[in-house]
């Protein structure tokens, strides 16, 4: 056992309206009908996209590999059902741009026939390296939204001598309750996943942080972990954005991650609670990550609930299953309302990063008119990073991006706390997202300019080498001509000398 930090420091944050009561009491729906077609993007993770290994017309089984990972920072994708590969094409991505990305389309045969699964006799006796290898092969990524390949974090944990695995079960975003229900209903499997992650990292202990507005989940996790003294389940205050890993870590351990560092720098690795369940499935059941629990909610949804759906299911089908009232929907959001992405269309697939589908009404997103700042400093108090939101926004409005960066723009996590508490309704977080996008564009332009400069220099170097080689060749040719003329003259003069 180990003690929690006695006097934790809780910086900033807000008490947002939860909107969780519609879905938190209801069991996860597991009988979602398999769609006729599934659209599985090959890029559902941080890093390089997976490369398809299937061809159009090929029959596939549930759990079969569709695309393999390319390099260390990548993850494979698998078939969520059995059927036939109908196409490998570009299809709109679940992103605000809805730009097309490479997608494998499966036409379901309705049989749900599994591929052969490899299940170890005793998963907890596997070597750490094999646990990491199996997690990677199963396509498990961070299901809290980061979608970083989990096997890489487990391997890094072993190499960096991690002393604590922190399981983030905060789920602080309004509306979202999928992790809450997962803990209530599958706590034993989650704890098994945590034990496997500890073994995979060679770490001695784990700490699970759950917000205190989830008493049933907290109790279920405590009961499931009571036999394991190296797993501590703790409650944290219900205060957005407690789900931010730095906030959770600071509260539970009293440690601070360096500004330009990572949790591994202080001996901690953070994983989401749903990721722990996916690790259990990958190791104990041999099943790759092909489905996930999604919260479907919002005023335009007649039957809000948590639904376990196959990866690749169109969001429009999930919303239809939950009774979407299209006339009421004013905005569609993937994820939570604070940090989620507003989508232009619902005909995009559910991916590994999707933990919520919100169909919000006009009343849900009512935005009062912007008024002048009253200098109340509420935004400063609410910022969990300790920034000066108004000062940064002023610099951005004046197009002084470098000055905004000096004030900490790159440290902003776009949680929206500042905008939420602003009595003047100034959309501060919009400024920061705009500025971050402009910085990315600037970096891309600088990178492109550097590439162009390098290409021009390479071209000039090639032309110079070609010129020097041509001059050298011309010199050699001239010398050869001179030599031939000399030889010819010598040959002509030789008989004359013999005659004399």
pLDDT tier at 165, thresholds 50, 70, 90: very high
Residue 6 has pLDDT above 50, yes or no: no
Mean pLDDT, all residues of the chain: 92
Confidence at residue 156, expressed as pLDDT on a 0 to 100 scale: 83
pLDDT of 405 > 70? The answer is yes
- Does 178 belong to an annotated binding site? no
Give yes or no for residue 406 having a pLDDT over 60. Answer: yes
pLDDT score of 497 more than 80: no
Range of weakest confidence among 81-85, 252-256, 395-399? 252-256
**What length does the chain have?**
500
Model confidence at 340, in pLDDT bands (50, 70, 90)?
Answer: very high
Could you write out the DSSP letters of every residue in 199-241? HHHT-SEEEEEEETT-HHHHHHHHHHHTT-TTEEEEEE---BT
Query: pLDDT per residue over 344-368, tens digit each?
Result: 999 999 999 999 999 999 998 888 8
- Mean pLDDT for 300-309 is 98
pLDDT at position 495 is 59
pLDDT in tens, 98-116: 999 999 999 999 999 999 9
- Write phi, then psi, for 487 (nearest 5 degrees): -65, -40
Report which secondary-structure segment, H or E, holds 432.
helix 428-499
Q: Write down the pLDDT at residue 1.
A: 43
| 418 marked as part of a ligand binding site | yes
Ramachandran category for residue 359: left, alpha or beta (phi over 0 → left; psi -120 to 50 → alpha): beta
Does residue 422 have a known ligand-binding role?
A: yes
- Predicted confidence at residue 492, as pLDDT, reads 81
CATH hierarchy code of domain 37-294: 3.40.50.11540
Which pLDDT band, with edges at 50, 70 and 90, does 498 fall under?
low
Tell me the C-alpha distance between 97 and 107, whole Å. Answer: 26
- Establish whether 172 is an annotated binding residue: no
- E strands along 212-324, which residues? 231-236, 268-272, 291-297, 305-310
pLDDT at 144 over 50: yes
Q: What is the pLDDT of residue 193?
A: 98
383 is an annotated ligand-binding site residue = yes
Instruction: For residue 132, say whether it is annotated as part of any ligand binding site.
Output: no
Q: What is the pLDDT of residues 227-249, one digit of tens each?
A: 999 999 999 999 999 989 899 99
- Confidence category of residue 9, pLDDT binned at 50, 70, 90: low
Per-residue confidence at 146, pLDDT binned at 50, 70, 90? confident
Quick: pLDDT tens for 274-292.
999 999 999 999 999 999 9
Half-sphere exposure of 289 (CA within 13 A, CB side): 34
Of 103, 123, 114, 146, which Cα lies nearest the Cα of 263?
146
- Helix (H) / strand (E) element for 434: namely helix 428-499
User: What residue segments make up the domains of the chain, in order of their start?
Assistant: 37-294, 376-490
Q: How far is CA 298 from CA 20, 24, 111, 302, 450, in A?
A: 10, 13, 33, 9, 47
Q: Is the pTM value of this prediction over 0.85?
A: yes
| Residue 322 known to bind ligand | no
Distance CA 83, CA 66 (A): 12
Q: Is the pLDDT of residue 254 over 90?
A: no
Alpha helices in 102-144 (DSSP H): 128-137
Give residue-wise pLDDT tens across range 452-479.
998 999 999 999 999 999 999 999 989 8
- The Cα–Cα gap between 382 and 11 comes to 8
């Amino acid at each position: 056992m180990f003690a929690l930090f006695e006097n934790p420091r809780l910086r900033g944050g807000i008490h947002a309206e939860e909107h969780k009561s519609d879905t938190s009491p209801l069991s996860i729906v597991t009988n979602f009908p398999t769609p006729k077609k599934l659209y599985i993007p090959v890029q559902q993770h941080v890093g390089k996209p997976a490369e398809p290994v299937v061809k159009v017309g090929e029959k596939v089984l549930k759990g079969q590999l569709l695309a393999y990972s390319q390099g260390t920072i990548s993850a494979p994708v698998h078939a969520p059902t059995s059927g036939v590969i109908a196409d490998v094409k570009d299809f709109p991505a679940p992103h605000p741009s809805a730009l097309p990305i490479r997608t494998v389309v499966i036409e379901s045969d309705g049989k749900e026939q599994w591929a052969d699964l490899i299940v170890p006799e005793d998963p907890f006796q596997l070597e750490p390296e094999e646990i990491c290898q199996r997690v990677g092969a199963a396509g498990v990524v961070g299901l809290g939204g980061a979608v970083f390949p989990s096997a890489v974090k487990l391997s890094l944990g072993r190499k960096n001598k991690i002393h604590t695995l922190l399981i983030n079960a905060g789920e602080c975003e309004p509306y979202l309750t999928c992790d809450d229900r997962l803990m209530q209903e599958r706590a034993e499997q989650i704890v098994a996943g945590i034990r496997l992650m500890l073994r995979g990292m060679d770490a001695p202990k784990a700490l699970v942080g759950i917000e205190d507005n989830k008493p049933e989940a907290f109790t279920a996790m405590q009961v499931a972990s009571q036999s394991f003294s190296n797993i501590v389940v703790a409650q944290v205050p219900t205060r957005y954005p407690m789900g931010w890993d730095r906030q959770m870590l600071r509260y539970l351990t009293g440690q601070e991650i360096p500004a330009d560092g990572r949790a591994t720098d202080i001996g901690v690795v953070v994983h989401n609670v749903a990721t722990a369940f996916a690790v259990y499935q990958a190791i104990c059941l041999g099943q790759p990550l092909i489905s996930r629990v999604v919260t479907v909610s919002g005023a335009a949804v007649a039957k809000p609930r948590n639904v376990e759906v196959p990866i690749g299911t169109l969001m429009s089908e999930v919303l239809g299953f939950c009774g979407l009232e299209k006339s009421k929907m004013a905005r569609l959001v993937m994820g939570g309302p604070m940090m989620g992405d507003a989508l232009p269309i619902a005909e995009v697939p559910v991916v590994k990063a999707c933990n919520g589908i919100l169909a919000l009404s006009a009343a849900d997103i009512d935005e009062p008119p912007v008024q002048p700042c009253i200098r109340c400093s509420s935004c400063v108090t609410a910022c969990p990073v300790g920034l000066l939101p108004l000062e940064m926004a002023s610099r951005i409005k004046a197009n002084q991006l470098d000055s905004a960066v000096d004030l900490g723009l790159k440290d902003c996590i776009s949680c929206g706390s500042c905008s939420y508490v602003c009595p003047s309704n100034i959309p501060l977080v919009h400024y920061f997202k705009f500025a971050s996008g402009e910085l990315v564009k600037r970096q891309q332009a600088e990178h492109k300019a550097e590439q162009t400069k390098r290409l021009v220099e390479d071209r000039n170097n090639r032309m110079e080498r070609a010129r020097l080689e041509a001059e050298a060749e011309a010199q050699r040719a001239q010398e050869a001509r001179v030599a031939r003329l000399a030889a010819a003259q010598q040959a002509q003069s030789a008989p004359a000398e013999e005659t004399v």
